[in-house]
């Protein structure tokens, strides 16, 4: 359903891109009263994105189609949830839209593809339906949709605290860095399962007090490698979920092993709840050279791979 429409005037249609993220730091601090985990994270948008087109309709229907047949198009999809949420807030249930999703970010991969799609819908429908909600209002709605959605709305390089929804910009990021990202297409990991597995094995070490959480947040804000975050001062990468997913997931072990064999890798880790893994490079050129050199090997291992730079923005309207 891709069209040649110009998106310069958003009267009847528009397009939004929804970037993936990787976790440069994912630390689980403890368990919250709401059952979620208290986190201290550093997240980074990357230049791998879904493309979402919106077409205004007058039939009060919210309809989704997608080029990937493995994706649910029903009410459990964050795109539908986000569209219904923002329409409810608009107090105009007559508003209708047809949404077409071109899914480039792998599903169930720890890259926040679904969360980014949700954030893109809030941004896109606010514009298409001319609702006039402020960024602050969109941020509040985004937190209702999921823990990673506020990050996806802002994007770039951000600390994410609380259950992940409290975002704080990092003063000095470096968008010239790049990643090679790998994922076994036959493996996916459920995020709730990953957290419950972590709890099973580690809850005796959880912190319990807000003041102890704050010590960890302060530590993360001030660690030497964050200011400035550059290829000369590369992020060491940490992911607590990797400790429980890697030992039982060959796709993660093999992915990390492949990445560790590349030249010019600054650091590597699993992203989110996995199973995708990534290696950080000083710049896109050096990552691309290694990516091309190793593409056959990657294919022979049965992995999908991407080479992309860091990105300074989250979901973005295409003009
Ligand atoms: O917020 P989101 O819907 O992305 O979370 C998915 C699941 O991951 C939650 O239902 C929960 O099981 C787990 N989770 C968690 N603590 C967080 C974020 C997610 O336990 N901070």
pLDDT tens digits for 15-32?
A: 999 999 999 999 999 999
Residue 128 has pLDDT above 60, yes or no: yes
Lowest-confidence region among 68-72, 81-85, 173-177, 193-197: 173-177
Residue 242 has pLDDT above 90, yes or no: yes
Residue 155 has pLDDT above 80, yes or no: yes
Residue 51 has pLDDT above 80, yes or no: yes
> Measured in angstroms, how far is the CA atom of residue 43 from the centroid of ligand 1?
16
Q: In what order do the strands lie in the sheet with 178-183?
A: 267-270, 277-281, 178-183, 304-309
Residue 3 has pLDDT above 80, yes or no: no
Q: Does residue 224 come out as left (phi exceeding 0), alpha (psi in the -120 to 50 range) or beta? A: alpha
pLDDT in tens, 204-220: 999 999 999 999 999 99
Residue 4 has pLDDT above 80, yes or no: no
Q: What is the pLDDT of residue 225?
A: 87
Residue 2 has pLDDT above 80, yes or no: no
Nearest CA owner, ligand 1 atom 20: 36
Residues within 6 Å of ligand 1 by CB: 36-37, 39, 146-148, 163-164, 191-192, 195
Candidate of 36, 81, 111, 201 to mutate for ligand 1, largest count of ligand atoms within 8 Å of Cβ: 36
How sure is the predictor about 9, in pLDDT bands with cuts at 50, 70 and 90? Answer: low
How sure is the predictor about 227, in pLDDT bands with cuts at 50, 70 and 90? Answer: confident
**CA 39 to ligand 1: nearest atom:** 21
Q: Give catalytic residues, as residue numbers.
A: 21, 148
Nearest CA owner, ligand 1 atom 7: 192
> Measured in angstroms, how far is the CA atom of residue 197 from the centroid of ligand 1?
12
Residue 8 has pLDDT above 50, yes or no: no
Percent of the chain with pLDDT over 90: 90
State the average pLDDT for the chain.
95
Per the model's pLDDT, the better-predicted residue between 176 and 143 turns out to be 143
Tokens found for residue 145: 């949709």
Nearest CA owner, ligand 1 atom 10: 192
Residue 103 has pLDDT above 90, yes or no: yes
Inter-residue contact 52 to 120 (CB < 8 Å): yes
Contacts of 111 (CB under 8 A, 6+ apart): 20, 21, 22, 48, 105, 181, 271, 272, 276
Inter-residue contact 284 to 46 (CB < 8 Å): no
**CA 115 to ligand 1: nearest atom:** 4
């Amino acid at each position: 359903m891709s069209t040649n429409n110009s998106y310069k005037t958003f009267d009847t249609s528009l397009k939004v891109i929804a970037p993936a993220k990787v976790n440069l730091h994912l630390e689980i601090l403890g368990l919250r009263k709401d059952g979620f985990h208290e986190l201290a994270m550093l997240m980074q948008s990357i230049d791998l994105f879904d493309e979402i087109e919106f077409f205004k309709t007058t039939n009060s229907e919210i309809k989704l189609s997608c080029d990937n047949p493995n994706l649910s198009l029903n009410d459990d999809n964050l795109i539908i949830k986000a569209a219904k949420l923002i329409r409810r807030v608009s107090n105009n249930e007559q508003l209708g839209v047809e949404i077409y999703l071109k899914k480039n970010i792998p599903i169930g991969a720890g890259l926040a593809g679904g969360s980014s799609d949700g954030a893109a819908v809030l941004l896109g429908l606010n514009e298409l339906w001319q609702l006039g909600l402020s960024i602050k209002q969109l941020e509040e709605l985004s937190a209702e949709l999921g823990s990673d959605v506020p990050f996806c709305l802002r994007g770039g390089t951000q600390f994410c605290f609380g259950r992940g929804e409290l975002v704080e910009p990092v003063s000095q990021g470096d968008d010239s860095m790049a990643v090679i990202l790998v994922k076994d297409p036959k493996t996916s990991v459920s995020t709730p399962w990953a957290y419950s597995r972590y709890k099973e094995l580690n809850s005796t070490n959880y912190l319990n007090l807000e003041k102890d959480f704050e010590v960890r947040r302060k530590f993360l804000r001030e660690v030497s490698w964050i200011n400035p975050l550059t290829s000369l001062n590369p992020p060491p990468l940490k992911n607590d979920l990797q400790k429980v997913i890697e030992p039982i997931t060959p796709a993660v072990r093999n992915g990390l092993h492949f990445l560790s064999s590349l030249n010019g890798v600054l650091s590597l880790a699993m992203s989110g709840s996995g199973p995708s893994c990534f290696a950080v490079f000083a710049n896109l050129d050096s990552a691309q050279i290694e990516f091309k050199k190793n593409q056959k090997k990657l294919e022979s291992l049965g992995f999908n791979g991407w080479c992309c730079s860091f990105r300074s923005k989250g979901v973005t309207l295409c003009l």
